[in-house]
Amino acid sequence: MNATFNQQLPIAIGADHAGVEYKQAIVEYLKEKGWQVLDFGTHGIASVDYPDFAHPVAQAVEEGKAACGILLCGSANGVNITANKHAGIRAALCWQNDIAALARQHNNANVISIPARFVALALAYQMIDTFLSTPFEGGRHENRVQKISCS
C-alpha cells in the first residue's frame, strides 16, 4: 500500500463498545500491513463513553505522536464530533469508499470516523486503505482547508 502518512509513526485507533469488535479486527489488519498501532481502547463490550476514546486518538494525532487516527462507534457521529474539537484535527465521517477518498483529496482529513453499525467490516477495511493511500490534492483545496481552524 502506498501510504500518504508517515509510516514511521503509528496509527492511533479508538472505539466505544459499539465499535470494539471492528477496532480489534482493524488493529490486526493494520499490523499485517506493517503499521504500528496505538490502541486507546476500549477493549470490551461493556457500555462506555465514546469521548474517553476519541480524545486520546485526536490528541495523539494533534501532538504528532501518530500519523493519523481511526475512530469507531455506532454511528461515528459522537467520535467524529469529539475529535473535531481538537485544533489541527480534520476528522471525516465516512460510510462509503468515495467519501474516504474525498476526505483526503479535498479536506486533508487526518482522522477517519467509521460507523460500525452501518458498514460491513470489508468496507471499513477498504475505506481505511483508501484513506491511507489517497494524497491531499492541495491546489484550490489548500486555501479552504486553511480556513477550517478557528485559531
- Domain ranges, ordered by start, for the chain: 11-146
pLDDT of residue 151: 64
Over residues 91-146, the pLDDT tens digits come to 999 999 999 999 999 999 999 999 999 999 999 999 999 999 999 977 788 888 88
101: amino acid identity, one letter: A
Active site residue 94: no
Active site residue 106: yes
Q: Is the pLDDT of residue 64 over 90?
A: yes
3-state helix vs strand vs coil in the chain, percent to 5 = 40, 15, 45
Q: Which of 55, 68, 73, 94 is catalytic?
A: 73
Domain spanning 11-146: CATH superfamily: Sugar-phosphate isomerase, RpiB/LacA/LacB (3.40.1400.10)
pTM for this model (two decimals) = 0.95
Give residue 78's region: left, alpha or beta (phi > 0; psi -120 to 50).
alpha
Q: Calculate what percentage of the chain has a pLDDT beyond 70.
A: 97
DSSP-derived secondary structure for 44-82:
SSS---THHHHHHHHHHHHTTSSSEEEEEESSSHHHHHH
